[in-house]
Structure 1
Amino acid sequence: MNNDLPQVQIYTDGSCLNNPGPGGYGVVILDNQNHRQELSGGFRKTTNNRMEILAVIMGLKALTKPHQVTIYTDSQYVVNAMMKGWAKKWQINNWKRNPREKAKNPDLWQELLRLSNQHQVNFTWVRGHSGNKENERCDRLAFSAAQNDSLQEDVNYEY
């Protein structure tokens, strides 16, 4: 681990009104100099899991140079896929979870793996809706983004 890298905390959350349905993501980025950045966006038809993964992607994309990153998310799916190596295994197995079952969201997992390789990333699970200030803020950002009138198309979502 390179302790010389700047440190940043990224809080993320995804939201979906119905599932699938309109969805959004929310991101809060905090650095050691008390700088704060908030990001959000929404899609017409997507899934909650896609928005959870995309929130992390958007947070990492906002970094312009390598960082030591702690991702805080209430998605055990994201934490386990990254920390237990599931996503890397799916990638090695041509995006299959097992011989009969395709991995879902390979477009997003591939991008998340690529971005994670540019940084030193640790994923930490936080319980959703339990009073964590930044997770609650991400939840509001994601929910609000999902309700926007000008939502984008999630072109890689398979109906």
Structure 2
Amino acid sequence: MTVADNRHLGRHIVIHTDGACIGNPGPGGWAAILQSMDGAKQLKRGTASGSDKDTTNNKMELTAAIEALKMIKSDSPVFLRSDSQYLIKGITEWLEGWKAKGWRNAQRKPVLNRDLWEELEALVTGRSIIWEWVRGHNGDPMNEEVDQLANEAARKAAFA
């Protein structure tokens, strides 16, 4: 089910997120675009971004989702769109297994970024969220825009 399939819903929020890193690890940035919607009509739009001088791309992907979700004050349904399979599969497929295995992955190694996964899980518990993977750099206008914002944030971190 995609965001476009659900435009018939009443009020909802669409979040577009991305993370970027110059080198991995290295200076990184994250960005989010939040759209408050009523059906297909955009009521309000906002952006947020941030950076870290020494991080990884996956940390920035998680941080973008976390920071965007922290900004939502309503209980409206949320559609979170990201080009990060790490984020989307992590929250929808892998998280329960990691927890069941004592925060170990399939290779029996400790799950990376556990602190961020735990923070994200706490933010999504009890909320109506549909997670949607979007192919990156494939012409989706909102994904392209949030990618540009994340890369700008990463460049700022590199030269700070």
Contact 2:16 2:80 in 1 (8 A): yes
Matches within 5 A, 1:111-130: 111-130=119-138
Matched, 1:27 2:35: no
Determine the structure 1 residue equivalent to 2:156: 148
Determine the structure 2 residue equivalent to 1:77: 86
Contact 1:5 1:66 in 2 (8 A): no
Paired AA for residue 53 in structure 2? R
2:62 counterpart SS class: helix
1:48 to 47, 50, 57: 57
**CA distance in 2: counterparts of 1:13 and 1:132, whole angstroms:** 13
Deviation at 1:66, TM superposition (A): 2.0
Unaligned runs of 5+ in 1: 153-159
Change (3 A) 1:23 1:66: same
Contact 2:29 2:157 in 1 (8 A): no
Matched, 1:93 2:95: no
1:101 counterpart SS class: coil
Deviation at 1:81, TM superposition (A): 1.2
Structure in which a larger fraction of residues adopt helix: 2
1:123 counterpart SS class: strand
Q: What is the TM-score with the length of structure 2 in the denominator? A: 0.84
Q: What is the TM-score with the length of structure 1 in the denominator? A: 0.85
1:61 counterpart SS class: helix
Q: Deviations over 1:12-41 (max 9, x none)?
A: 000000100000001000011420010000
Deviation at 1:5, TM superposition (A): 8.4
Q: Structure 1 runs of 4+ off > 2 angstroms?
A: 91-94, 149-152
Matched residues, number: 148
Determine the structure 2 residue equivalent to 1:156: none
**CA distance in 1: counterparts of 2:140 and 2:48, whole angstroms:** 18
